[in-house]
Amino acid sequence: MSRTTAIELAAALRRDLHRYSPGEKLPSSRDLVQQHQVSPVTVSRAIAALVAEGLVVSRPGAGVFRAGSRSTAAPAGDTSWQEVALSAEAGAPPVRSTDASGVLASLRLAPPEVIDLNSGYLHPSLQPERALAGALARAGRRPGAWSRPPLEGLPELRAWFARDIADGLTASDVLIAAGGQSALSAALRSLAPPGAPVLVESPTYPGILAIARAAGLRPVPVPMDADGLRTDLLAEAFAASGARLLVCQPLFQNPTGAVLAPERRLEVLRIARAAGAFVVEDDFARRLVHADAPALPAPLAADDPDGVVVHIRSLTKATSPNLRVAALAARGPALARLRAVQVVDAFFVPRPLQEAALELVAAPAWPQHLRALTAALRERRTALAGALTGLRPELMPAQLPYGGYQLWLRLPDALTPESVTAAALRAGVAVTAGGPYFTAEPPGPCLRLSYAYAESTDQLAEGARRLDRALAEAG
């Protein structure tokens, strides 16, 4: 086949549209493949471009038709489905690529003179440092603290995680992992072979995309809205891609902060069961709820007796980046797969760290820390959102998150996230560009702002002022 691109093919089809009357059917995709000697994916992308321009209308099962003339502008349509259509490329060979740029950006520490609205970890003033120090000291004195632990993890810690995740889980359903990122890596490599597609939320945490690509998987986006994952597009995404795995963050999703709506929770499980697929539930932010939040929904794992859900729960985000202790909960043969990958990767999580985690969650200081953290996160969210609302109200989301640690801002189309982040750094504030959170072309320019790592609410307000100056410079 020739090396004709989707852009070139779209231009050729655009030139030929005068040959068709409004409403007349265009040649089929198969005919276009043969006529222009291109791949089906190139045809799909070219047609999608013409649909987006309003030149043609695509009717699933019927074909593509020249659009009729309109005397008045029609309401803007919802083209979110194109993210799936443009990404579900069947038959692609497995390509392993390790692109850690998105992860490195979130881990990079800002210089002391720069206000950090980038990091996803708690500022040291929010970490339970005294409680952690005490837990580590007590753990070191436990009999056998330095002996080799069971490969699956300490039974007592596995049992605690089982109780913490959902009723009905037992210690035998849980494996201890070295943090949430390690757990995600084990889950994706256990549940999908190289070359397979994997459905991801769009936008999503860049670490998920990096893991998938490093494992030779093909991330396929499923769009989101204010109520979380678009379940009206999920079944189509499974069917179009052939995926047997979905990775999602139903609670305080990173980066949007969205919570999966109650009516969509069971729908996700129903659709996944029908597709014969697993759901990896990354419940990373459950301990980052804000003090003004309503009652939290139970995890998806609580409504799943059939082993569809592989649940990930970590202690890291609510404590310290150094307490890399997490749980993988699964049922059935999947658990054996997870265990095998874990053993090959790291043998086991160091026992002193597991013992320290047990000491921490059993101490009276643990619930005290969580209460203080929920109040502090609400205060920080309010401070940053309030400052931004006063300066740039047009950027603010319609609804503020009531958990997590970030705000997701939609920039004007005239700005690029890269120019804004560069201008922000010159102004003395570090923010995160939205591009790495998408696996396909972003629908628009976005920024993520974190309020977890700034020193104080005053610094958050100053960070908003510096960002305002950067936006003026970039615009």
CATH number of the domain where residue 254 is located: 3.40.640.10
Same domain assignment for residues 165 and 293: yes
Return mean pLDDT, the chain: 88
Same domain assignment for residues 188 and 310: yes
Please tell me which residue, 374 or 150, carries the higher pLDDT value. Answer: 374
Residue 94 domain flag: no
Check pLDDT > 70 for residue 96. no
pLDDT of amino acid 5: 82
Give per-residue pLDDT as tens, 194-253: 999 999 999 999 999 999 999 999 999 999 999 999 999 999 999 999 999 999 999 999
Same domain assignment for residues 149 and 238: yes
Distances (CA, A) of 345 to 26, 95, 174, 269: 53, 21, 17, 29
Check pLDDT > 90 for residue 299. yes
Residue 243 domain flag: yes
Distances (CA, A) of 322 to 56, 315, 317, 470: 54, 10, 10, 33
Same domain assignment for residues 46 and 139: no
CA–CA distance, 430 with 426 (Å, rounded to integer): 9
Residue 213 domain flag: yes
Which of 363, 388, 414 delimits the end of a domain?
Answer: 363
Residue 96 domain flag: no
CB neighbour class for 137 (10 Å; exposed up to 12, middle 13-18, buried from 19) = exposed
pLDDT of amino acid 2: 47
Same domain assignment for residues 153 and 284: yes
**CB-based contact 52:443 (threshold 8 Å):** no
Q: What is the mean pLDDT of residues 468-472?
A: 95
- Residues above pLDDT 70, as percent of the chain: 91
CA–CA distance, 115 with 454 (Å, rounded to integer): 7
Same domain assignment for residues 134 and 274: yes
pLDDT class of 98 with cuts at 50, 70, 90: low
Same domain assignment for residues 389 and 296: no
Check pLDDT > 70 for residue 139. yes
Which of 28, 52, 69 delimits the end of a domain?
Answer: 69
Which of 343, 363, 383 delimits the end of a domain?
Answer: 363
Same domain assignment for residues 313 and 414: no
Number of domains in the chain: 3
Same domain assignment for residues 253 and 334: yes
Same domain assignment for residues 177 and 311: yes
Which has the closest alpha carbon to 270: 225, 227, 234? 234
pLDDT of amino acid 475: 76
Same domain assignment for residues 414 and 454: yes
Residue 387 domain flag: yes
pLDDT class of 43 with cuts at 50, 70, 90: confident
Residue 289 DSSP code? B
Check pLDDT > 70 for residue 76. no
pLDDT of amino acid 102: 65
**What is the domain extent for residue 29?**
6-69
- Residues above pLDDT 90, as percent of the chain: 64
Same domain assignment for residues 135 and 259: yes
Residue 83 domain flag: no
pLDDT of amino acid 85: 40
Check pLDDT > 80 for residue 101. no
Q: What is the mean pLDDT of residues 293-322?
A: 93
pLDDT class of 82 with cuts at 50, 70, 90: very low
Residue 74 domain flag: no
Place of tokens 């050729």: 12
Residue 106 domain flag: yes
pLDDT class of 70 with cuts at 50, 70, 90: very low
pLDDT of amino acid 86: 41
SS3 334: helix
